[in-house]
Amino acid sequence: MSRTPRKKGLSNIHHIMSRSISELQLFVDFKDKDKFLNIVRKYQKIYMFTIYSYVLMDTHYHLQVNDNGADISKFMKSINQSYALYYNKKYSRHGHLFSDRFKSKPIEKDSYVVAASAYIHNNPKDIPNYKNCVHKYKYSSLKVYAGMPSKYSDILDIDFILKYFSTNKRLARKSYLEFVCKFNALKIKDELEFNSSESYYTPMKHILVRNFKPTDIIDFVSHYNKESFCIHTKYNHKNIESKSICVVLMRSLCDFKFSDISKTIGNLTYSNIGRLCEKGISLINTSEKYRNIVDDFISYSRSA
């Protein structure tokens, strides 16, 4: 039986949760949690989504995300698959790691934007050592809201939520932390938890419209690399780097599926497109040359 497509509505902010299969810990040690957050950082750079809050527990995780016009199914599938590959290799196992597709709920009211964040940040309270000090839990974005150092502060936008409390950042931090400590999820439990197997995601008004043309991407990459190349050439290792970057940009900014990319490039199987996509992502995340290419293309297109 085919899976039910995720439904679209009026908001592009989502509360996302994903859980491991019943007999496994999703994160066995701190290295696993670090790996997961680095994977999130990797795909955030490509798909340009925003994270407002997160928490990683032993068996599951929560994210509060603004998709910024991206298809969350694409980047969440990439995140979970990448982590599952790492996990299975590290622990010498095979098969599924996650119990199901990730679950997501749209957040369509201002009050629920703040409430969802507090709900996520309160997850560690059931751990004895963190019952009255959830802000000290290492793998939660609440540390950043509290002004504590975190090597993952770069993946967060905390100002969006803090501005609900005050334009003065110091007062906003204080008020938000008090709100989290006093938060009672029971009052809006049904709005915040995933009580059904059906998941939703929805776009919003001020988003990055991902309707760029593939020809514009190909021309831009040629200009960026200061060399012309034929994206349709099948066996030419010289073209692989440029072709890989094009595939990633089409995936992210044209909102293309593998089938769309195959039609555009021609002569490529889905597995080959997948490999090109992974190579392109790796180049953008590791090469100084391509570090800002997504932003550069968007700026270039807007000024053209």
Same domain, 244 and 183: no
Confidence of residue 304 (pLDDT cuts 50, 70, 90): low
Q: Is 203 a domain residue?
A: no
Mean of pLDDT values over 203-213: 66
The residue-averaged pLDDT of 121-139 equals 89
Q: Which of 138, 157, 192 is the last residue of a domain?
A: 192
Q: Which of 144, 160, 192 delimits the end of a domain? A: 192
The residue ranking higher by pLDDT, 194 or 104, is 104
Contacts of 280 (CB under 8 A, 6+ apart): 244, 245, 246, 247, 248, 249
Average of pLDDT values for 122-139?
89
> What CATH code is carried by the domain that includes residue 230?
1.10.1750.10
Residue 245 pLDDT > 70: yes
For helices 293-303 and 214-225, the axis angle rounded to 10 degrees is: 110
Quick check: is 287 in a domain?
yes
Residues 25 and 167 in one domain: yes
Same domain, 28 and 173: yes
31 and 171 housed in the same domain:
yes
Tens of pLDDT along 9-59?
446 899 999 999 987 899 999 999 999 999 999 999 999 999 999 999 999
Q: How far apart are CA 165 and CA 51, in angstroms?
A: 18
Residues 245 and 284 occupy one common structural domain: yes
Q: Read off the amino acid at residue 239.
A: N
Residues 45 and 129 in one domain: yes
- Asked, for residue 6, whether it belongs to a domain, the answer is no
Q: Give the C-alpha separation, 267 to 53, whole Å.
A: 42
Is residue 219 included in any domain, yes or no? Answer: yes
For 260-295, what is each residue's pLDDT tens digit?
998 988 878 888 899 999 999 999 999 999 989 998
Distant-in-sequence, close-in-space partners of 9: CB < 8 Å, separation ≥ 6: 106, 108, 200, 202
d(CA 63, CA 157): 12
What is the per-residue burial (b if ≥16 Cβ within 10 Å, else e) of 46-66? bbbbbbbbbbbbbebbbbbbb
271 within 8 A of 279, measured Cβ to Cβ = no
Residue 303 to residues 48, 70, 123, 226, 296, Cα–Cα distance (Å): 19, 22, 45, 19, 11
Across 113-128, average pLDDT: 92
pLDDT (average), residues 232-259: 85
> Which strands, in side-by-side order, build the sheet including 13-19?
50-56, 60-66, 13-19, 103-106
Q: Is the dihedral of CA 229, 301, 296, 212 positive or negative?
A: negative
Residue 105 near residue 14 (C-beta atoms within 8 A): yes
Give the per-residue pLDDT at 239.
82
| Assigned domain for 232 exists | yes
**pLDDT for 46-105, tens place per residue?**
999 999 999 999 999 999 999 999 999 999 999 999 999 999 999 999 989 998 888 998
Q: Which residues contact 32 (CB under 8 A, 6 or more apart)?
A: 26, 87, 90
pLDDT of residue 198: 38
- pLDDT value at 8 more than 70: no
CATH number at residue 57: 3.30.70.1290
Average pLDDT across the chain, whole number: 85
Q: Are residues 92 and 181 in the same domain?
A: yes
Indicate whether 20 and 149 sit together in one domain: yes
pLDDT-based confidence at 173, cuts 50/70/90?
Answer: very high
Q: Is pLDDT at 115 greater than 70 in this prediction?
A: yes
> pLDDT band at 189, cuts 50/70/90?
low
Amino acid 199: pLDDT: 39
Please tell me whether residues 162 and 19 are part of one structural domain: yes
> 179 with 44, same domain?
yes
Please report where in the chains the tokens 């953008």 appear, as a residue: 284
Which pLDDT score is estimated for 265? 87
> In terms of residue numbers, what domain contains 280?
214-303
**Residue 170 lies inside a defined structural domain of this protein:** yes
Q: Are 37 and 109 members of one domain?
A: yes
Could you tell me if 182 and 249 lie in one domain? no
> Does residue 67 form part of some domain?
yes
Confidence at residue 300, expressed as pLDDT on a 0 to 100 scale: 83
**Domains: count for the chain:** 2
pTM of this structure: 0.84
290 inside domain:
yes
SS3 state at 104: strand
